[in-house]
Every structure is written in C-alpha cells, then in structure tokens.
Amino acid sequence: MLSRGYIAFRGLLSRTGCLNIEQKRNAQVSIVGAANEIGSNLAILLKQNKYITRLNLYDDDEKVLRVGAELSEIPKGPVVTSYNGNSFLPASIRFSHLIIMVSRVPRRPGYTRDQMLEVNAPPVQKLCRTMADVNPDAFLAISTNPINSIIPLASSLLFRYSAYDAAKIFGITHIDTCRARAYASKALNVNPRHLHIPVIGGHSDKTITPLFSNITPSHYKVDPCQADTLTRLVKKAGMEVINNKLGIDSATLAMAWSINEFADNILQAMYGDYVVVNSYTSNPHYGTRFFSGPTRVGCYGIVETCNSNFNMTEYEKHILGNAITDINKDVARGEEYARVIAEVKH
C-alpha cells in the first residue's frame, strides 16, 4: 500500500489510494534503459498515452538525452525529461507510479541464460537499491532477460532492502501472448484483436506454454496439429528474430509494442479498473515460487495471480510439466545470485 506521506506529497491519489479518475492525465512513468531500441520505441508509444503527465527517461548511455530532446519536440502528450548517469537514477524514478526496466544486454546466438543473468543482474540490483531508497511504493515492471531468474533476483534484493511488495513487481511476458495471438490469427484468418490466448509457465524456449485449447472467443478452434505447430512457433519466436537479425540484436519493435500494451493496462488499473496482463510474478499455484500467466491487477497491485483452473490438453500438460522443472531451477539460480551479489556489495 502507498504510504500516507507519499500520497500527501504527490497529491495525485484519491482517498482509496487509486489515481484520481477525474484527472485523466496525472501519472508519472519512468523508463530505465530508454536509450536502447526497445526503450526509445517504448518512449514514443508512451508519449501518446492519455494517462501520463510526466515521462522520465533514464540510461547510462548519454544517447538518452538526444532521445528525450527529440520527443520533447512532439507538441502533445506528457512532459519528457531525460536523465543520464548513475547519480541521476534517483531523480529519474522518484515519485513515479510505474517504473519500467528495459535495460539489457540483448540475447545473442550462443549466449546461455546464466551468462545473460550475470551481465544483466548488476543494473537490476542498482535499480532495486535506488527504489528502496527513494520510491519503494512504485509498481516495478521488468522486461530484462532472463526473466525467469531476474524477477526472483529482484524480489530477493528488494526483500533484503526492506522494500519488497509481491503485489507490485512484474516480469513482463506480454510478448508471449501477443505472439500467440498473431500466429493464431494467421492460422484462423481472423483479426488478432478478437483473440485472447493465455500463455503460462515461464519466459524461455523451454518454459513458454501457450494454451491454444483455451482460446477465446470459444467458437474459434485450434486443432491438435495446428496447436503443435503454433506452440513451436511461439517458443522459438525470440530466437527466430535473433537469427533474422544475424545475431546483432533481439526483438525490439514487438517488445516495445507489447510493453506499451502492458503499461497501458497497468495505468488503467491505477485509475481503479481491474485489468488482466500476462506477467511473471510471485505465484505458488503450480509448485513454483514464480510463474507466468494471466494476472489480475487493481490499483494496489496484483489481485489474483494465474491459477491452475485451466482445462488443458494432454499435450499442454506435458509441456507444462517439463517447464515447471526448468522454472524451479531458474528461480533458484536467480535467488542464489541475489545472495552472492548482495554479499559482494556488503
């Protein structure tokens, strides 16, 4: 729950703790990692968001200053402020209601998830430490890979820093359900806007589990042969993008689009609505401590995590069974790495 001092200082929250519904543009959002391709594309999408008053851009790369300067030439939307360098991280996230971290070293051919964790963990730790100091009440959404380990790492660090709220930390896996909708719409020759497909498990080739048997509206049907093909496509989509880009970068445009859709939903929740987003969160329902899937969110954070009420085919159950083993390993890896880096720093 947001602290009373924070609410009073900002004057942006109603008596219930939700953002004031009557003021349609009064949220502050920070993008950490705004100089990279995902961050800059996300920034221009959020510049059009009707809920945001201030959009703060942060990056270690001074390129973020040029990104901010260019966005400031657009004569509509939120005020954009850019911050560059470690000393400006606190200012960039102070008072923000939603902090989105897209900083990352992109996945490349031959990279193991252990290597990605080692490279991407330090900026996550820096953000968690800073959040604990200046803005522990914010929603934190992370797209930095490997998400299966990064979210347990960030959760462990925030707990160590006495700033952990399981209802307000999200691993953004919205890209998985976006891809599932896109592939299914092509197979069924329908508009993807009309489709909803839960994708559960984790966020890696081995743990992504699309549930095409649960597609809605229910009059659309995906036969077992199609489901097998579509599942393989969704699982391999990330690596396919890397191969198409000749190993230079991973998905950027689709990631920015899906993170923007996620952020827009979260902002709606802050105004008092209940929304459902696909995210990797603290979740004990499947025998793991963290799990990805449709997550119900309200103005105080997560209301209901993905539960085990899905009717799955035997094929989906088999995939999920294998995924759970890998998720538990990934969670343990992230929590152990949090212990190691915390001890090194202290």
User: What letter does residue 96 receive in the DSSP assignment?
Assistant: -
3-state secondary structure of 251: coil
The whole-number pLDDT of residue 14 equals 42
The tokens describing 16, both together, are 């219930």
Same domain flag for 168 and 180:
no
Closest by alpha carbon to 125, among 88, 86, 91? 86
pLDDT in tens, 18-50: 776 555 678 999 999 999 999 999 999 999 999
Same domain flag for 239 and 132:
no
3-state secondary structure of 31: strand
The tokens describing 251, both together, are 């998905």
Same domain flag for 193 and 154:
no
- CATH of residue 100's domain is 3.40.50.720
Catalytic machinery residues: 203
Residue 162 lies in a domain: yes
Q: Which DSSP string corresponds to 285-301? A: TTSSSEEEEEEEEETTE
Residue 305 lies in a domain: yes
Same domain flag for 246 and 282:
yes
Instruction: Find out whether 129 and 157 touch, Cβ atoms under 8 Å.
Output: yes
Cβ contacts of 103 within 8 Å, gap of 6 or more: 32, 33, 36, 39, 59, 60, 120, 123, 124, 127, 144
pTM of the model: 0.91
- CATH of residue 204's domain is 3.90.110.10
Same domain flag for 220 and 205:
yes
CA gap 303, 248 in Å, rounded: 39
The whole-number pLDDT of residue 308 equals 80
Same domain flag for 183 and 160:
no
Same domain flag for 184 and 279:
yes
Same domain flag for 149 and 197:
no
Task: Tell which of 137, 156, 173 closes a domain.
Answer: 173
| 247: number of Cβ within 10 Å | 14
Residue 160 lies in a domain: yes
Same domain flag for 229 and 160:
no
Residue 216 lies in a domain: yes
Strands 27-32 and 275-282, sheet pairing:
unpaired
Residue 336 lies in a domain: no
Burial of 63 (0-12, 13-18, 19+ CB in 10 A): middle
pLDDT band at 269 (very low <50, low <70, confident <90, very high): very high
pLDDT in tens, 47-67: 999 999 999 999 999 999 999
pLDDT band at 10 (very low <50, low <70, confident <90, very high): very low
For the chain, the straight-line distance linking the first and the last C-alpha, in angstroms and rounded, comes to 29
Task: Tell which of 146, 173, 200 closes a domain.
Answer: 173
CA gap 132, 234 in Å, rounded: 36
* Position with higher pLDDT, 308 vs 273: 273
Whole domain around residue 141: which residue ranges?
4-173
CA gap 28, 26 in Å, rounded: 7
Residue 339 lies in a domain: no
Same domain flag for 145 and 181:
no
pLDDT for residue 4 is more than 80: no
- Is the four-CA dihedral 244, 245, 246, 247 of positive or negative sign? negative
pLDDT for residue 3 is more than 60: no
Instruction: Find out whether 342 and 160 touch, Cβ atoms under 8 Å.
Output: yes
Cβ contacts of 156 within 8 Å, gap of 6 or more: 334, 335, 338, 339, 342
The tokens describing 282, both together, are 């603290």
Q: Work out how many domains the chain is built from and give that number.
A: 2
User: What letter does residue 170 receive in the DSSP assignment?
Assistant: E
pLDDT in tens, 188-207: 999 988 899 999 999 999 99
The tokens describing 258, both together, are 């899906």
Residue 344 lies in a domain: no
Same domain flag for 241 and 265:
yes
Same domain flag for 130 and 271:
no
Residue 342 lies in a domain: no
The whole-number pLDDT of residue 251 equals 83
Task: Tell which of 157, 173, 189 closes a domain.
Answer: 173
